Chains A and B, each alone.
Chain A
Amino acid sequence: MAKIKLELVKLCKEFGELNAVDDVSIAIEESETMALLGPSGCGKTTILNMIVGLEKPTSGEILIDGKSVLNVPPGQRNVGLVFQDYAVFTHMTVRQNLAYGLKLRKMKQPEIDREIYKVSEFLSLGHQLDRKPSELGASELQRVAIGRTLVTNPEILLLDEPLSNLEASMRNQMRRELRRIQGETGQTIIYVTHDQIEALSLAHQIAVMNLGALQQYDTARNVYEYPANRFVGSFLGNPPMNFIRGKLAEDSGQRVVSSGESTMPLPAGIIGADMTIGSDVVVGVRPESLNLAAADNPGRFTSEVLAVEPQGPETVVTAAFGDSSFKVIVPAGTDAEAGGAITLAPQSDLVALFDAETGVRLMNSGGA
Chain B
Amino acid sequence: MLIFPFILEFVISLTEWQPIYGDFWDAFASVFTHKINQGVGYNYLITDEPRYLQALGRTVIISVISLCLEFVIGLALATLFLKKFWGKRLWFTALLSPMMIMPVVVGYTWFMLFQYNGPVNQFIGWITFSETNLMWLNTGHLAFIAVITTEVWHWTPLFFLIMLSGLNSVPENPIRAATVLGASNFKIFWTIILPNMKAVIIIAFVIRGMEVIKLFDEIYILTRGGPGTATETISLYLYKLAFEDFRLAYAGSAAFIVLIITVVLINMMLKPIRYQLVEGR
Contact = CB atoms under 8 A, between A and B. Distances in A.
Interface stretch (B40-48, B122-130, B170-178): B170-178
A100 B190 CA distance: 13
Given A87-B171, A91-B195, A91-B198, A104 B176 contact: no
Contacts of A202: none
Given A76-B182, A149-B181, A85 B187 contact: no
A283 interface: no
Contact of B181 (A85, A90, A152): A152
B180 interface: yes
A81 interface: yes
Contacts of B174: 87-90
A138 to B, nearest CB: 15
Contact of A87 (B173, B184, B198): B173
A54 B179 contact: yes
B54 interface: no
A79 B180 contact: yes
Residue in A54, A80, A83, A88 whose Cβ sees the most chain B Cβ within 10 Å: A83
A152 B177 CA distance: 13
Interface residues of A, number: 25
A79 B177 CA distance: 11
Looking at chain B's contact residues, the main secondary structure is: helix
B23 to A, nearest CB: 60
A9 B102 CA distance: 62
Contacts of A88: 174
B183 interface: yes
B177 A81 contact: yes
B198 A54 contact: no
Contacts of B177: 81, 83, 87, 145, 148
B82 to A, nearest CB: 17
Contact of B180 (A52, A85, A105): A52
B18 interface: no
A81 B174 CA distance: 11
A366 interface: no
B113 interface: no
B192 interface: yes
Given A91-B195, A104-B187, A75 B171 contact: no
Interface in A217-262: none
A357 to B, nearest CB: 42
Interface in A67-123: 74-76, 79-81, 83, 85, 87-92, 100-101, 104-105
B188 to A, nearest CB: 10
A52 B179 CA distance: 10
A74 B180 contact: yes
A92 B198 CA distance: 13
B43 to A, nearest CB: 47
Contact of A100 (B178, B195, B196): B178
A177 B103 CA distance: 62
A92 B178 CA distance: 13
Contacts of B179: 54, 74-75
B182 A105 contact: yes
B176 A100 contact: no
**Residue from A52, A91, A105 having most chain B Cβ neighbours under 10 A:** A91
Contacts of A91: 195-196, 198
A104 B181 CA distance: 8
A92 B171 CA distance: 15
Contacts of B192: 89
A95 B174 CA distance: 16
B173 A83 contact: yes
Contact of A85 (B173, B178, B183, B184): B173
A189 B192 CA distance: 27
Nearest to B182: A75
A80 B183 contact: no
Most buried by A among B171, B174, B177: B177
Nearest to B180: A81
A53 B182 CA distance: 11
A312 B179 CA distance: 47
A91 B182 CA distance: 19
A81 B181 CA distance: 8
A42 B180 CA distance: 23
A76 B171 CA distance: 23
Contacts of A148: 177, 181
A93 B4 CA distance: 49
Interface in A42-67: 52-54
B193 to A, nearest CB: 11
A91 B195 CA distance: 7
A80 B127 CA distance: 53
B181 A100 contact: yes
Contacts of B183: 75, 100, 104
Contacts of B191: 89, 100
Contacts of B195: 89, 91-92
Interface string B154-184: 0000000000000000010110111111111
Contacts of B178: 89, 100
Nearest to A77: B180
B172 to A, nearest CB: 9
Given A83-B176, A91-B195, A105-B182, 11 more contacts: A53-B180, A54-B179, A75-B180, A75-B183, A76-B182, A80-B180, A81-B177, A83-B177, A87-B174, A90-B196, A100-B183
18 contacts: A52-B180, A74-B180, A75-B179, A75-B180, A75-B183, A75-B184, A76-B182, A79-B180, A81-B180, A83-B176, A87-B174, A89-B191, A89-B195, A90-B174, A91-B196, A92-B195, A100-B183, A148-B177
Interface of B: 171, 173-174, 176-184, 187, 191-192, 195-196, 198
Which A-B residue pairs are the 10 nearest by beta carbons? A75-B182, A87-B173, A91-B195, A101-B181, A87-B177, A104-B182, A83-B173, A87-B174, A81-B180, A74-B179
